[in-house]
Copies of this chain bind each other. A is one copy, B any other.
Amino acid sequence: MWGTIATWRMAHDGVIAAKDILAGNGDCKDAVETAIRKVEDYPYYKSVGFGGLPNERGIVELDAAFMDGDTFQIGAVAGITDIANPIAVARKLSLDTFNSFRVGQGATEYAVLEGFERKNMLTPRAKKIWEKRLAEIADKKLNPYDGHDTVCAVALDQKQSMAVGTSSSGLFMKKSGRVGDSPLSGSGFYADSAIGGAAATGLGEDLMKGCLSYEIVRLMGDGHTPQAACDRAVYGFDQQLRNRLGKAGAFSLIAMNNQGAWGVATNVEFTFSVATERQAPSIFMATPGPNQTTVIEPITQEWLDA
């Protein structure tokens, strides 16, 4: 059995590429990196990699992480700049015993020294959106924060190894050096090849309050299906946050176990893409259902056209 699941419709082409690797008996780590690179490289996705929206100063600061579910090895970067593929940097860092999570200038320097491709990640389109928003904020005092669609991919290969990766430009108009959940183990991602993997997209500041990726993997390890684990962790914590803090930001989680079964849960409208040995690559839409369940439907041609 093999399979992969990834966040948001933007990941669909990456899922198709990952599927080819996995179906050909390739490695789950290559599948994860390939899926995420596709999203990083595409200039019209505004929350990941090239074309991602910048921080309040117009600088595109990127976060990414990679985890090997066989060994628990983790690599991560936060606030990296001018590097084409943060996911590849995170993957390489995961092989280091020390210094495997690097932030800011130190992360960028590591990537440069290791020969990763440099690139001005601010596209003219992203710059225009940023300038427009600056003007809106000045005029109407709008809340400057908006958009936090991380790409995450979980993959299972035919050797029953699992890996997970994340990549994000973070909150649009974030403060310099702001970090969300994407590079944070347990909050943004977690994988254990003996159980399964999970990853998150949404408001990082709230996701790190709940360690939901770790919790979902743990629940799967306790015998829950991926769907039951997602429902229990996501809706349970959403309720906890509303009770304790009075509010909960948007968040959506994906999971796959080491049998290729998958699940998602979300407190908003959330699209994702999935492919397994039993299921052709497909995009679905998830929304919160009644009684802490999730409604999952194939997306329609109508939705895609709009």
Contacts and interface: CB of A to CB of B under 8 A. Distances in A.
A169 interface: no
A113 to B, nearest CB: 10
B102 A178 contact: yes
A245 interface: yes
Integer count of this chain's copies in the complex: 2
A210 interface: yes
A104 B101 contact: no
A36 interface: no
Interface of A: 70-74, 78-79, 96-107, 109-110, 145, 171, 174-180, 184-187, 190, 204-205, 208-211, 214-215, 218, 240-241, 244-245
B105 A103 contact: no
Contact of A98 (B97, B187, B205, B241): B205
Contact of A109 (B71, B98, B176): B176
A71 B206 CA distance: 11
B110 A175 contact: yes
A105 B174 contact: no
Contact of A245 (B73, B109, B176): B73
